[in-house]
């Protein structure tokens, strides 16, 4: 959901740093609040009686932007550590509640995950200490500059400490999960860390209601839903462990739902009825995948134009919706590749000597969800004994 309505600001080592639309709400709000609290913060900084260079509202904007710049450094620290230990980061998104690094693949070794999680708060605390030193050494500087250093130093230290709360999936919760995983395994550790995270979320929510702090309430909701989402993700990964992508094929196995790119668009719906699929893989005359097209895509094409357009012409107007994997790819690897590419479909191919690879399946999210359910039931049947080999082929 963080990718929707986000603007890419810049890229660092290929990872896009994006601004979510909610940033347009929180930055002006923070700027206003900081301008109203300017005098009180200046008194804490010991610079209340000195002359200012800029009016409080301008400094409010500067400090709000400075706060999100600090959050960006925090998230980049996570990103660099994750990439160092073999993880994959799809994007960093700055939003209402701070920053979110979208991990496609987290480091699997507990020690590496702990380092990746801890390096973000450590960066914030280190930045806060550097700014504190600059503040202490800036007695001859203008009052509002010293106040800005004081505020950003205190905010970064608070950010670092707050993120080390054991509220999974926050940084402290990930450290907790990593420590537990080294002793009791990742699946059980995730369950415990997620439960602790939900408890922390409830506590944060109560504090937010009691104090009237809307931002704390939003963080509580984010932590609770994030903990649940991480638990579901780990269960899915565990359920698919040891399976190939070929094991995800719907049974009984059917030919892939293909449609040629040179077919007229008027033939799309009849082809969907014939195959009983709402999503079809468009292939060129040589059999090379072009894109995935759905029934909903016809809604953007006026009916009088459908007789003049080919399926391939419409498919070329759509964003790419698939990634290609060989049939012997592990199921979890295939899902990670789709997540990294930001697509909803996996095209499974079988290599052919002297020609293009043969498309043997088109997997959608519901195919994967079905297999996860079947695998979970096979390994943990209600009131029965699991049969681990029963679902593999």
Residues 68-85: what's their mean pLDDT? 93
Mark whether 147 and 47 lie in a shared domain.
yes
Parent domain of 367: 245-391
Q: Is the pLDDT of residue 283 over 90?
A: yes
Mean pLDDT of the chain: 85
Whether the pLDDT of residue 281 is over 90: the answer is yes
Q: What is the CA radius of gyration of the chain?
A: 26
Is 104 found in the same domain as 15?
A: yes
By percentage, how much of the chain surpasses pLDDT 70? 92
Q: State the pTM of this model.
A: 0.76
| 235 and 256 belong to one structural domain | no
**Which two structure tokens, joined as six digits, stand for 199?**
């408890």
- Say yes or no: 69 and 183 in one domain: yes
Report the DSSP pairing between strands 322-326 and 345-350.
Answer: parallel
By the 8 A CB rule, do 55 and 68 touch? no
Q: DSSP state, 254?
A: -
Query: Looking at the predicted structure, is the pLDDT value of residue 390 above 60?
Result: no
Model confidence at 49: pLDDT above 60:
no
For residues 175 and 157, the answer to whether their CB atoms sit within 8 Å is no
* pLDDT exceeds 90 at position 381: no
Question: Is the model's pLDDT at 320 over the cut of 50?
Answer: yes
Residue 316 within a domain: yes
| Residue 318 is assigned to a structural domain of this protein | yes
Does one domain contain both 29 and 144? yes
Please report which residue ranges of the chain form alpha helices under DSSP H. Answer: 23-36, 38-45, 56-84, 110-136, 143-163, 171-184, 186-211, 214-239, 268-275, 311-316, 331-341, 365-379
Q: What is the pLDDT of residues 210-230, one digit of tens each?
A: 988 888 898 899 899 989 988
How many domains is the chain built from?
2
Contact 370, 345 (CB under 8 A): no
Q: Where are the alpha helices (DSSP H) in 56-142?
A: 56-84, 110-136
- For 259, how many CA atoms within 13 A lie in the half-sphere containing its CB? 31
CA distance 251 to 361: 12
Q: Does a structural domain hold residue 84?
A: yes
What are the pLDDT digits (tens) for 63-75?
Answer: 889 999 999 999 9
Q: Alpha-carbon distance 117 to 360, whole Å?
A: 40
What's the half-sphere exposure (Cβ side, CA atoms, 13 Å) at 320? Answer: 11
Asked if residue 134 belongs to a domain, the reply is yes
Per-residue pLDDT for 117 more than 60? yes
* Residue 382: pLDDT over 60: no
Rounded to whole angstroms, how far apart are CA atoms 182 and 109?
8
pLDDT above 90 covers what percent of the chain? 38
Question: Per the domain annotation, does 347 fall within a domain?
Answer: yes
Residue 378 has pLDDT above 50, yes or no: yes
Q: Quote the CA–CA distance of 295 and 297 in Å, as a whole number.
A: 5
User: Of the residues 239, 257, 276, which one is the last residue of a structural domain?
Assistant: 239
Q: Kindly state whether residues 297 and 315 are assigned to the same domain.
A: yes
Domain endpoint, select from 209, 239, 269: 239
Same domain, 207 and 255: no
Residues 288 and 202 in one domain: no
Shared-domain flag, residues 193 and 118: yes
Which pLDDT does position 57 carry in this prediction? 85
**Strands of 258-260's sheet in order across:** 258-260, 279-283, 289-294
Residue 275, domain member (yes or no): yes
Residue 330 lies in a domain: yes
The CATH number of whichever domain residue 346 belongs to comes to 3.10.580.10
254 φψ region: left (φ > 0), alpha (ψ -120 to 50), beta (else): beta
Q: Tell me: do 258 and 230 sit in the same domain.
A: no
Is residue 1 included in any domain, yes or no? no
**Range with top average pLDDT, 1-15, 168-182, 344-358:** 168-182
333's tokens = 């690897």
Whether residues 197 and 270 fall in one domain: no
Q: Which of 239, 259, 294 is the last residue of a domain?
A: 239
The predicted structure's pLDDT at residue 4 = 56
pLDDT band at 387 (very low <50, low <70, confident <90, very high): very low
For the beta carbon of residue 214, count every other beta carbon within 10 angstroms.
Answer: 12
On whether both 111 and 193 belong to a single domain, the answer is yes
91: nearest Cα among 139, 20, 157, 183: 20
Measured distance CA(158)–CA(152) in Å, rounded: 10
């Amino acid at each position: 959901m963080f990718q929707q309505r986000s603007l890419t600001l810049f890229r660092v080592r290929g990872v896009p740093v994006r601004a979510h639309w909610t940033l347009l709400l929180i930055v002006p709000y923070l700027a206003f609040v900081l301008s109203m609290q300017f005098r009180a913060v200046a008194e804490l900084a010991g610079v209340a009686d000195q002359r200012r260079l800029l009016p409080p509202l301008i400094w409010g904007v500067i400090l709000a932007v400075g706060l999100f710049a600090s959050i960006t450094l925090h998230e980049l620290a996570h990103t660099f550590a994750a990439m160092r230990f073999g993880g994959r980061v799809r994007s960093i998104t700055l939003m209402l509640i701070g920053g979110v690094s979208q991990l496609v693949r987290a480091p699997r070794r507990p020690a590496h995950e702990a380092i990746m999680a801890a390096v973000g708060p450590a960066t914030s605390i280190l930045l806060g200490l550097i700014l504190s030193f600059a503040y202490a050494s800036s007695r001859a500087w203008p009052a509002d500059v010293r106040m800005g250093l004081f505020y950003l130093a205190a905010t970064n230290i608070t950010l670092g400490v707050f993120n080390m709360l054991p509220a999974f999936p926050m940084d402290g919760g990930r450290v907790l999960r990593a420590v537990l995983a080294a002793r009791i395994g990742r699946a059980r550790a995730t369950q415990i860390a997620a439960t602790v995270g939900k408890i922390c979320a409830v506590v944060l929510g109560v504090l937010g209601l009691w104090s009237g702090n809307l931002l704390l309430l939003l963080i509580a909701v984010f932590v609770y839903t994030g903990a649940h989402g991480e638990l579901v993700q780990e269960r899915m990964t565990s359920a698919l462990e040891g399976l190939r992508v070929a094991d995800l094929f719907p049974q009984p196995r059917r030919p892939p739902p293909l449609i040629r790119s040179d077919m007229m668009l008027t033939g799309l719906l009849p082809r969907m009825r014939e195959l009983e699929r709402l999503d079809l893989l468009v292939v060129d005359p040589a059999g090379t995948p072009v894109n995935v097209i759905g029934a909903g895509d016809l809604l953007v094409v006026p009916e009088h134009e459908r007789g003049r357009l080919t399926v391939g012409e419409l498919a070329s107007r759509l964003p790419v919706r698939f990634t290609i994997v060989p049939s012997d790819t592990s199921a979890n690897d295939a899902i990670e590749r789709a997540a990294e590419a930001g697509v909803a479909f996996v095209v499974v191919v079988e290599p052919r000597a002297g020609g293009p690879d043969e498309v043997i399946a088109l997997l959608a999210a519901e195919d994967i969800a079905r297999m996860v359910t079947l695998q979970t039931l096979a390994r943990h049947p209600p009131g029965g004994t699991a049969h681990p080999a029963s679902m593999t082929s």
